[in-house]
Amino acid sequence: MRIDSHTHLLPEKMPDWTEKFGYGEFIHLEHHRPGFANMMKGKQFFREIGRNCWDPELRIQEYAAFHTEVQVVSTIPVMFSYWAKPLDTLDLSAFLNDHLAEIVHRYPKNYVALGTIPMQDTDLAIRELERCQELGIKGIQIGSNINGENLSESRYFPVFEACEQMGMAILVHPWNMMGESEMKKYWLPWLVGMPAETSRAMCSMIFGGVLERLPRLRVNFAHAGGSFFATLGRIRHGFESRPDLVAVDNAVDPKHYLGKFWVDCITHDPATLEYVLKFQGSKRVTLGSDYPFPLGDLEIGAFIDQMDLTDGEKENIYCHSTLEWLGIDRI
Ligand SMILES: [Zn+2]
């Protein structure tokens, strides 16, 4: 069995929250031609999406071509809406989570869900986290920063603590990319900003002591950890050479956490994945695709079939590591 740990799904129809709340630029959908919809950010065009963004049966068919039976679905990060009034983000999150839960209920052999919660308000975030669990949702997806604040900020700690206590998994996904307004050209927010964001989140959770204080917290970092592993030597050297700057909240070497968190395999490159596997081991690398977006690995791990890995290592990546991250024995 193969499980894709990193995929995105939206409801076909969503409220126009900008109209409903009377402010801001929430995402809504305009179904402008058959099988396609424009995601609109307020009045501005954001991205065109196709039917495989919302049609669960079409997705199952498309996945069958890559021998992948199970999709771990989460919303598209632009839906996080952490910038909005907390109760409004709660309303929006609840709508998306109810939809995800319904998909899982209808297709329990094909879908596992990760919810979204209003991270800008700790109490509301935990309230929705609890409701997600009641709905059968196995974890949450959160952004790499919350309105520009790092995940090491103390106000986010109770959310992580609740996730650990409740056994809810976390996917950290890059969003609200640093430097976005300065480097719009060449898609750099996606090509440069996103990998940096993931490393930012990993360094924040390591240096802030989140992973140290919550050893049973199960966190998966998107896109194979972004630029984290490529700069790990520098990160560790910084920790050793300037502890006065780096080791102020956690005195443990970052190396200690390798193989304790998870990362997905979305590298598009066997050599890069081999490098990540050296640090993480196959039990901590999950099959991921970022389906159905063009920057994703839309052949869903096909490049791994060509790699010189043992069958056991491949099975770990394709299935076991994701089950362990989600805290479940089987689908
Ligand atoms: Zn993604």
Segment 51-78, tens digit of pLDDT: 999 999 999 999 999 999 999 999 999 9
pLDDT (average), residues 208-218: 98
Does 215 reside within a domain? yes
pLDDT (average), residues 102-124: 98
User: Would you state the pLDDT for residue 251?
Assistant: 97
Does 40 reside within a domain? no
Ligand 1 mean position to 174 CA, how many Å? 8
Determine what percent of the chain is predicted with pLDDT higher than 90. 99
Ligand 1 mean position to 287 CA, how many Å? 13
Ligand 1 mean position to 7 CA, how many Å? 6
Ligand 1 mean position to 145 CA, how many Å? 15
What whole-number distance in Å separates Cα of residue 301 and Cα of residue 321?
A: 14
pLDDT digit string (tens) for 300-328? 999 999 999 999 999 999 999 999 999 99
Report the number of distinct structural domains present in the chain.
1
Q: What is the pTM of this model?
A: 0.97
Arithmetic mean of pLDDT over the chain: 97
Does 150 reside within a domain? yes
Ligand 1 mean position to 173 CA, how many Å? 6
Helix pair 157-166, 122-134: axis angle to 10 deg: 20
Ligand 1 mean position to 198 CA, how many Å? 11
Q: What's the gap between Cα 139 and its chain centre?
A: 10
Q: Are strands 111-115 and 70-74 parallel, antiparallel or unpaired?
A: parallel
CA of 150: how far to CAs of 128, 142, 156, 191, 310, in Å?
21, 12, 9, 21, 38
Does 58 reside within a domain? yes
Ligand 1 mean position to 289 CA, how many Å? 8
Task: Kindly list the strands in the beta sheet with 44-50, ordered across the sheet, starting from the edge strand earlier in the chain.
Answer: 27-33, 36-41, 44-50
Ligand 1 mean position to 232 CA, how many Å? 23
Ligand 1 mean position to 311 CA, how many Å? 27
Does 101 reside within a domain? yes
Ligand 1 mean position to 267 CA, how many Å? 13
Q: Residue 175: give the domain boundaries.
A: 3-11+51-326
User: Would you state the pLDDT for residue 181?
Assistant: 95
In the chain, DSSP assigns E strands to: 3-8, 27-33, 36-41, 44-50, 70-74, 111-115, 139-143, 169-173, 219-221, 262-264, 285-286
Flag whether pLDDT at 112 surpasses 90. Answer: yes
pLDDT (average), residues 176-205: 97
What whole-number distance in Å separates Cα of residue 66 and Cα of residue 60?
A: 10
Ligand 1 mean position to 73 CA, how many Å? 10
Flag whether pLDDT at 204 surpasses 90. Answer: yes
Ligand 1 mean position to 164 CA, how many Å? 23
Does 92 reside within a domain? yes
225: tokens are 């950890």
Ligand 1 mean position to 175 CA, how many Å? 9
User: Would you state the pLDDT for residue 310?
Assistant: 97
What whole-number distance in Å separates Cα of residue 148 and Cα of residue 314?
A: 37
Ligand 1 mean position to 245 CA, how many Å? 32
Ligand 1 mean position to 6 CA, how many Å? 6
Ligand 1 mean position to 99 CA, how many Å? 18
Ligand 1 mean position to 263 CA, how many Å? 12
CB < 8 Å & 24+ apart, contacts of 254-259: 254/203, 254/206, 254/207, 257/206, 257/211, 259/283, 259/284
Ligand 1 mean position to 72 CA, how many Å? 11
User: Would you state the pLDDT for residue 52?
Assistant: 97
Does 217 reside within a domain? yes
Neighbours of 93 (CB within 10 A): 26
What whole-number distance in Å separates Cα of residue 273 and Cα of residue 303?
A: 10
Give residue 331's pLDDT band: very low, low, confident or very high (50, 70, 90).
confident
What whole-number distance in Å separates Cα of residue 209 and Cα of residue 247?
A: 10
Ligand 1 mean position to 237 CA, how many Å? 30
Ligand 1 mean position to 255 CA, how many Å? 26
User: Would you state the pLDDT for residue 43?
Assistant: 87
Does 16 reside within a domain? no
What whole-number distance in Å separates Cα of residue 16 and Cα of residue 126?
A: 25
State the distance between the two ends of the chain, measured CA to CA, in whole angstroms. Answer: 10
pLDDT (average), residues 162-177: 98
Torsion angle of alpha carbons 218, 220, 221, 225, nearest 10°? 100
Determine what percent of the chain is predicted with pLDDT higher than 70. 100
Ligand 1 mean position to 77 CA, how many Å? 7
What phi-psi label fits residue 107: left (phi over 0), alpha (psi between -120 and 50 degrees) or beta?
beta
Residue 271, domain CATH: 3.20.20.140
325 CB contacts (<8 Å, ≥6 apart)?
5, 169, 218, 220, 262, 286
What whole-number distance in Å separates Cα of residue 109 and Cα of residue 278?
A: 32
pLDDT (average), residues 37-57: 95
Ligand 1 mean position to 36 CA, how many Å? 19
Q: Is 114 helix (H, G, I), strand (E, B) or coil?
A: strand
27: tokens are 């995402």
Q: What DSSP element (H or E) covers 219? A: strand 219-221
The 8-class DSSP code of residue 146 comes to B
Ligand 1 mean position to 172 CA, how many Å? 9
156: tokens are 């986010």
Q: Is 282 helix (H, G, I), strand (E, B) or coil?
A: helix
251 CB contacts (<8 Å, ≥6 apart)?
243
